[in-house]
Structure 1
Amino acid sequence: MTQDIILYWNEVALEANKVSHTSGKDGAMVNGPTLSSRALAIIHLAMYDAYVGTSGSLLTSYTGTAGIVGASVSAAVSAAAHATLTCLFPTQKPFFEQKHKKATITGTTAEINAGHKYGQDIANNILFLRKDDPDAKDNDYSSYPSHGTHRPDPINVNQGYHAPFYGRRSDLFASSMRYELDSPSSPYETDPNYQKALKQVRGKGIAAELMGTLPTTYSKRTVDETLIGIYWGYDGAKELGTPPRLYNQIIREIAKEQNNTLEENAHLFALVNVAMGDAGILAWEQKYRYNYWRPVLGIREHDDSMGPVGTGKSNIDNDCDPLWLPLGAPSTNEKGKPNGTPNFPAYPSGHATFGGATFEIAKQFYDWKGKNLQPMFDTVAFVSEEFNGESFDNNGVVRPKHYRKFSDGFDQMIAENGFSRIYLGVHWSFDAFALGSDGKPDLSQNIGGVPLGVNIANDIFNGGLGIRKSTVKGVKP
């Protein structure tokens, strides 16, 4: 079987993400959801431009670099991938060297040399464009203790703050504008949407051992909801990495099932990862703009007698539970480490933004290509490494392997991914999307990460400032 050089290096990049979150090395500019999406965007943009410049493709170059004739495509893509990976993950250089040697590179010596140089030049151009990106450190960031504001997780009070400056100080990869969201629900009893969201996450997101403490009027989490919550996890745990890795894994399976051409994969994976790159920037810009607290604080401090600015009172509100804890972002493959809440504000959900951007752009890509994916969604099951029969929970118990089908396709993925964070107890429903009276996502409102991700996807796919659909093989943009 002929090697697809894009899928080959995509797999290497996803392994690098996993390794960096397992070893704790290379973290300054690649770890956490924000920097993971940045790294994957850089790598796939470099591969994309290397492909476009050496293949004679009619796709539009991201950097505007002139193409060349007589160069090996596989050599150019491999050089671009290798160079960006080595720069981003320097401690893994021996691994990348090994994978470079095993890559199937075709052409004459002259073509390979020309392709290699071209790919390196492209990588340098992309890296230069992103050289001023901030890191995820919280040096000089100060929070303020008040009702409704994000503060460290009570389970991990020394967790710090992830990427407080990354969003607003980063240039976008391809979106033409910096999308903003409407304000979330007000964190007070007088807001009925907030009250509804609080009761939902208190019941659906509570730690398993505390379920017996819920009032009988609360709706508890089902078995399937527990599975959904963990399935979409990937909260930077060892041997798993971050959400952008999971979304790439799903797109990989779809690309293989659809027998994508090399050009389709170069294009699709660049679109997906550049969309997530911008999702990481804009979601974190909004997160630290609103600085909204997580359910673990909102539920424990719901009564006005609770928290750092509480007022004296007895007989607290029954919707307040000062001892509430979430099921939590899973500490997979880390025995003894408690599940907890991520170290950045709630609104909007990063998972929801990444997922909305990924699956919306993939849906548009395949619609544009005229491919009907429904037969595949009706038959093909997807495996998350949270439930692969090898990963274990924080008690050291191996989770079973689970094959999950998405018969409603990308829309089901977007919705499940958004709801999953409620079932873990780490997000409010409006962090992902507004809910209609039927409890289903209402994407007509500019509330939450999914609308933000969808806006990013639409912008990039239909033009924006980066990759354009251009005119490929007679298909109009």
Structure 2
Amino acid sequence: MNRKFIPFITLLCLGAASLSANPVLFWNDQVLNATRLSRNPPPIAALHLATYHAAIFDAVNGFDQSYDPWLVDEAAPAGSDRKAAIAAAAYTVLQAIWGNEVNPRVLRKAYDDALAGIANGDAKTAGINWGQHVAKRLLDNRADAGLNQPYAGAITSDAVGKWRETPPAFRPPVSPAVAHVRPFVMDSAEQFRAPPPLDLDSPEYAEQLAFTAKVGARDDAERDEYQTLSTPFWADDLGTATPAGHWCVIAQDVARRQELTVEQTAHLFALMTLATADAGISSWEAKFHYLHWRPETALREATADLNAHIEAKPEFIPNMASPAHPTYTSAHSTFTGAASRMLALYIGTDEFKFTSTSDGLPGVVRSYDSFSEACIELNMSRVWGGIHTMIDVVEGRRAGIKIADYVFAHTLRKK
């Protein structure tokens, strides 16, 4: 991997230029800011980003109807202004989802600024009305998707091998209801469920636990500085763009450098966020189906009666705090498997040199030669963090890739 750094200000300048030239990129920037400020957990953020970008796509697609829509199979009114439609669709969803979590004046200013450059008249009014119509259809569709319904299954257990709250905060499980949310594209939440985790008494499980203990301990771990910093670089937790949003930042660079049209940009972002939303649902379904314990719990509580090959480590502390949900599969790996695969599918190759920043390590820029290289580094960052074993991240990535393939083949297809 290429561990070089580039001046941070250069990347900021490139990003600003791209946003000014493409309204979809401008509105992607606004939603990522809202995501950071709202502090929603990754699976919730992924669901919201998909609703948002699907609305923008259907609004844009209504003008030429070049693709199958996600939901709204109508033509935009003749003479409508497309930029006004994009602004109205984006702002309507922003208000509905983030209006109580983000200063509404910030959202309104972005909307007013976007509309200020459009001449007043019938075209502008028609565009606004069209964008609002599409957004409301999307919001109505997702209102009964199940996110607000309580999860009926087990969410924690004291049984051997099952997940229970972990120190230091002993937080209750995050958003178990995501496990039964209606997918955007998948046929069901369990469609791409990973196979069962390794048997607790198997030598393979003991070997993977030992590897996590060796490279993922807070102290005296066998990892270098780059590996240690990879954990916060890819952490993407509360207060950040989250994993789905991190890849939206990467996709901005892809769209700019590939010189995608407004329509193509909306198409790419819709496909990618639909895939990451379904990836979150899929991973959460697996997590609460298997309810598998975290490595730190296994290392502290495992006994010879459970697995004679496991070397118990009662004092083990992971390099990062274990997230408050079961370990299998890794959601970050599933999100990133889906996003990285979708970008490769969209531009026709995985080989694409790019750089990435991180909300967790401001000012740090890393460079990669392919989307899969970044995905694999993300996978390892969770093991270096001490919160996953290899099978968690491998099966998570595998599911994410399958989901991206399915989304790419089954929705928003070129007519």
Measured in 1, the distance between the counterparts of 2:137 and 2:126 equals: 17
* Alpha carbons of structure 1 residues 73 and 353: separation in structure 2 relative to 1, 3 Å: same
Q: Is the 8 A contact 1:136 1:166 kept in 2?
A: no
Q: Which of residues 314, 327, 333 in structure 2 aligns to 1:322? A: 314
Q: 1:67 aligns with which of 65, 75, 80?
A: 75
SS of residue paired to 1:381:
strand
Q: Which letter maps to 1:265?
A: T
Greater mean deviation of Cα atoms: 422-431 or 59-68: 59-68
Q: Within the alignment, does 1:365 sit opposite 2:346 as a pair? A: yes
Residue 377 of structure 2 is aligned to residue 416 of structure 1: yes
Aligned to 2:223: 221
TM-score (norm 1): 0.77
**Superposition pairs for residues 453-468 of structure 1, below 5 Å?**
453-463=400-410, 466-468=411-413
Q: 1:71 Cα deviation (Å)?
A: 0.7
Aligned partner of residue 46 in structure 1, secondary structure: helix
Corresponding letter in the other structure for 2:367: K
SS at 2:143 equivalent:
coil
- Measure how far apart 1:241 and its partner are: 4.3
CA shift, 1:142, in A, is 4.9
- Quick check: 1:303–1:317 contact (8 Å CA) kept in 2? no
1:116 corresponds in structure 2 to 128
SS of residue matched to 2:293: coil
TM-superposed deviation, 1:362: 0.7
Query: Is residue 2:38 matched to residue 1:46?
Result: no
Task: Return the offset for 1:304.
Answer: 4.8
Question: Which SS does the other structure have where 1:386 is aligned?
Answer: coil
Measured against aligned partners, the alpha-carbon deviations of 1:46-75 in whole angstroms (never above 9, x if no partner) come to 000000112x14122111431122111111
For the structure 1 residues 64 and 318, does the alpha-carbon distance in structure 2 shift closer, same or farther, using more than 3 Å as the test? closer
Structure 2 residue 410 is the aligned partner of structure 1 residue 449: no
Aligned-pair distance for 1:257?
Answer: 2.6
Match of residue 398 from structure 1: none
1:224-271, CA deviations, whole angstroms, 9 ceiling, x for partnerless residues? 2112222111121x4x24222212111112222322221111000001
In structure 2, the residue matched to 1:20 is 38
Q: 2:361 corresponds to which residue?
A: 387
Distance 2:54 2:155 in 1: 35
Q: 173-182 or 37-46: which moved more?
A: 173-182
Correspondences of 1:302-313 after superposition (within 5 Å): 302-304=302-304
Greater fraction of residues in helix:
2
Report the Cα offset of residue 430 of structure 1: 0.5
> What does residue 156 of structure 1 align with?
169
Amino acid at match of 1:197: Q
Report the equivalent of 1:441: none
**Residue in 1 aligned with 2:262?**
262
Choose the corresponding residue for 1:342, options 314, 319, 323. Answer: 323
Q: For residue 405 of structure 1, give the secondary structure of its aligned residue in structure 2.
A: strand
Once the two structures are superposed, the pairs formed by residues 110-259 of structure 1 within 5 Å of their partners are 110-135=122-147, 142-157=155-170, 159-168=171-180, 170-177=181-188, 178-188=191-201, 191-207=202-218, 210-211=219-220, 220-236=222-238, 238=239, 240-259=240-259
1:137 CA displacement: 8.5
- How far 1:426 moved relative to its partner? 0.9
Partner of 1:402: 364
> Could you say which residue in structure 2 is the equivalent of 1:96?
107
Q: CA deviation at 1:223?
A: 1.8
Report the identity percentage: 25
Residue 125 of structure 1, CA deviation:
0.6
Kept after mapping to 2: 8 A contact 1:296/1:426: yes
**What CA distance in whole angstroms lies between the structure 1 residues aligned with 2:148 and 2:41?**
8
Verify the 8 A CA contact 2:155 2:291 in the aligned structure 1: no
Q: CA deviation at 1:318?
A: 7.0
Choose the corresponding residue for 1:9, options 27, 41, 44.
27
Give the TM-score taking structure 2 as reference length: 0.89
Q: Which 4+ runs in 1 deviate beyond 4 A?
A: 136-142
Q: Which amino acid aligns with 2:366?
A: R
**Structure 1, gaps ≥5 residues long:** 22-30, 215-219, 311-315, 329-339, 389-400, 434-447, 472-477
Using the TM superposition, give the Cα deviation of residue 135 of structure 1 relative to its aligned residue in structure 2, in angstroms.
3.6
- Please state how far the C-alpha of 1:107 moved relative to its aligned partner: 5.5
CA distance in 2, matches of 1:427, 1:137: 29
Query: Unpaired segments of 5 or more residues in structure 2?
Result: 1-16
Contact persistence 1:72–1:114 (CA under 8 A): yes
User: Whole-Å Cα distance in 1 between the matches of residues 346 and 160 of structure 2?
Assistant: 43
Aligned residues: 390
Quote how far apart the aligned CAs of 1:467 are: 2.1
Partner of 2:92: 83
Superposed displacement of residue 386, structure 1 = 1.9
SS of corresponding position for 1:130 = helix
Deviates more, 1:173-182 or 1:224-233: 173-182
Q: Secondary structure of 1:425's match?
A: coil
Report the more deviating stretch, 12-21 or 62-71. 62-71
Q: Secondary structure at the match of 1:186?
A: coil
- Structure 2: how far apart are the matches of 1:40 and 1:120? 17
- 1:80 Cα shift? 0.7
Deviation at 1:138, TM superposition (A): 6.7
On the 8 A contact 2:212/2:384 being kept in 1, the answer is yes
Deviation string 1:274-309 (CA, Å, 9 cap, x unpaired) is 11111111110111000011111011112257xxxx
Structure scoring higher RCO (CA < 8 A, sep ≥ 6) equals 2
CA shift for structure 1 position 402: 2.5
Distance 2:318 2:274 in 1: 32
**Mapped contact 2:357–2:365 kept (Cα < 8 A):** yes
Per-residue CA deviation, residues 8-42 of structure 1 (Å, 9 max, x unaligned), is: 11100000010111xxxxxxxxx211110011000
Decide whether aligned partners of structure 1 residues 51 and 250 sit closer, same or farther in structure 2, where only a CA change above 3 A counts: same
